[in-house]
Amino acid sequence: EVQLVESGGGLVQPGGSLRLSCVASGFTLGDFPMHWVRQAPGKGLEWVSGINWNSVNIHYAESVKGRFTISRDNAKNTLYLQVNSLRPEDTAHYYCARKVGRAFDFRGQGTMVNVSS
Amino acid sequence: QSALTQPASVSGSPGQSITISCTGVRSDAGDYKYVSWYQHNPGKAPKLIIYDVSHRPSGVSPRFSGSKSGNTASLTISGLQAEDEADYYCGSATTSSTHVVFGGGTKLTVL
């Protein structure tokens, strides 16, 4: 069964950092581009960042560029998102997803990041 | 990134059909004109229900169908069931991921 398990979220003060992880099972992570998508409370889905299979092509939303860093370790079947200089507006559920063609396949329940003093 | 616009809410009774629109989809050549649809219950994983405008992933009910005309994509759910109550999002993403955008979401209420 294909599964993605996100972790690493929590309560952090503005300006703080976290490292989110997404562990894949049931498929080979290295076969897919991977992405992070978030949902702020009461808001819709917002694409955050994506990385291709060999980490050569990386893209970020303007709202997180320069503060967030996406990376992957295919040997460990794990995707990461380093989130720095956090702001209250970064408060959201963060989901990882594998990219299948031109669509996203979400398989995890996400991890919650709460930025508050 | 160009925006995709959805109605904030739609509703229907069990057994009826409803359609959710998604405007602002590009209609030029290449990847930009392809739309996917996701069903989401907050706190759970969003579920891909339509990709490339009208294709259903394996295991998705045939009650869900997608179409596109000009700059507007549509998701139709026929034979509404209580379990269909959820938020629905359209999305557009090129294969290279240089362009990724989601619509604002539509809350479906089954009366």
Which of A 21-40 lie inside 8 A of B, CB atoms? 33, 35, 37, 39
Please, is B91 exposed, middle or buried when counting C-beta atoms within 10 Å of its C-beta (0-12, 13-18, 19+)? buried
Q: Is B13 a residue whose pLDDT tops 90?
A: yes
Contact B96 A57 (CB under 8 A): yes
pLDDT tens-place string over residues B71-109? 899 999 999 999 999 999 999 988 777 778 999 999 999
Chain A residues whose beta carbon lies within 8 Å of the beta carbon of residue B98? 59
Judged by CB atoms closer than 8 Å, whether chains meet at B101 and A47 is answered as yes
Which residues in chain A are closer than 8 Å to B73, comparing Cβ atoms?
A: none
Whole-number Å distance between alpha carbons of A13 and A91 = 11
d(CA A100, nearest CA chain B) in Å: 9
Asked if B108 and B47 touch (Cβ cutoff 8 Å), the reply is: no
β-pairing, A3-7 vs B18-23, is unpaired
pLDDT, averaged in runs of 10, over chain A (117 residues): 96 97 96 96 94 94 97 97 98 96 93 97
Residues 6+ apart with CB under 8 A from A98: A4, A24, A27, A29, A32, A33, A34, A35, A104, A105, A107
CA dist A5 and A22 (Å) reads 5
**Separation of alpha carbons B3 and B86, rounded Å:** 22
Task: Quote the minimal CA–CA distance from B16 to chain A in Å.
Answer: 26
